[in-house]
Amino acid sequence: MRHLICAVLFAVVATVAAAVEPDEILDDPALEARARGLSAELRCVVCQNESIDSSNAGVARDLRLLVRERLVAGDTDQEVLDYIVARYGDFVLFRPPWKPTTYALWLAPAVIFLGGAIGVTVALRGRRQRTGDALSEEETVELDAFLSRQGDGQ
């Protein structure tokens, strides 16, 4: 049983770190920790919803190497991010800055949510008005007669 648990844990850990190749890992643990932190903030431009650390795309590998290269050269974390944003644009950041070119990115979820809420409200109001119509006296008499015939088995 112990071997099974160890095998499962090893498989989970191996899949989490699958994208970072052994030749990419820095010898200095502090620099590697900084590189991992920066990689978590950077989006793979191919996969778009994965960090560069978890992506197997070639561009993600290039970005991982670039981050480590800049850190080894002595850049601060912000300088590394600025360098990558200058090359790839704000899209590469999971948390892009608030500025005119990214307003649509930040506001789109709220606009979509409000549009959906308005659509649901309008649909429910229209449904309520349609179902609020009562039967006329003639329709009520016909319905009662039909139901009584159904009860008689005809």
The confidence score (pLDDT) of residue 83 equals: 95
* Model confidence pLDDT, tens digit, residues 10-38: 554 444 445 777 777 887 889 899 999 99
Q: Cβ(24)–Cβ(65) under 8 Å?
A: yes
Q: Cβ(80)–Cβ(71) under 8 Å?
A: yes
Q: Cβ(24)–Cβ(68) under 8 Å?
A: yes
Domain ranges of the chain: 2-97, 103-152
Beta bridge partners of 138: none
pLDDT of residue 144 exceeding 60, the answer is yes
Question: When comparing pLDDT for 127 and 61, which is higher?
Answer: 61
Q: What angle do CA 38, 80, 90 make, to 5 degrees?
A: 80
Binned at pLDDT 50, 70 and 90, residue 5 comes out as low
**Topology of the domain covering 2-97:** Helicase, Ruva Protein; domain 3 (1.10.8)
Question: Any idea how long the chain is?
Answer: 154
* Model confidence pLDDT, tens digit, residues 58-103: 899 999 999 999 999 999 999 999 999 999 888 899 888 888 888 8
Binned at pLDDT 50, 70 and 90, residue 41 comes out as very high
**Tokens 């016909």 found at:** 142
User: How many Å apart are CA 92 and CA 116, to the nearest integer?
Assistant: 28
pTM for the complete prediction? 0.59
Which residues make Cβ contacts (< 8 Å) with residue 18, sequence separation at least 6?
54, 56
Six-digit token pair at 143? 């319905």
Question: When comparing pLDDT for 126 and 1, which is higher?
Answer: 126
User: How many Å apart are CA 40 and CA 80, to the nearest integer?
Assistant: 13
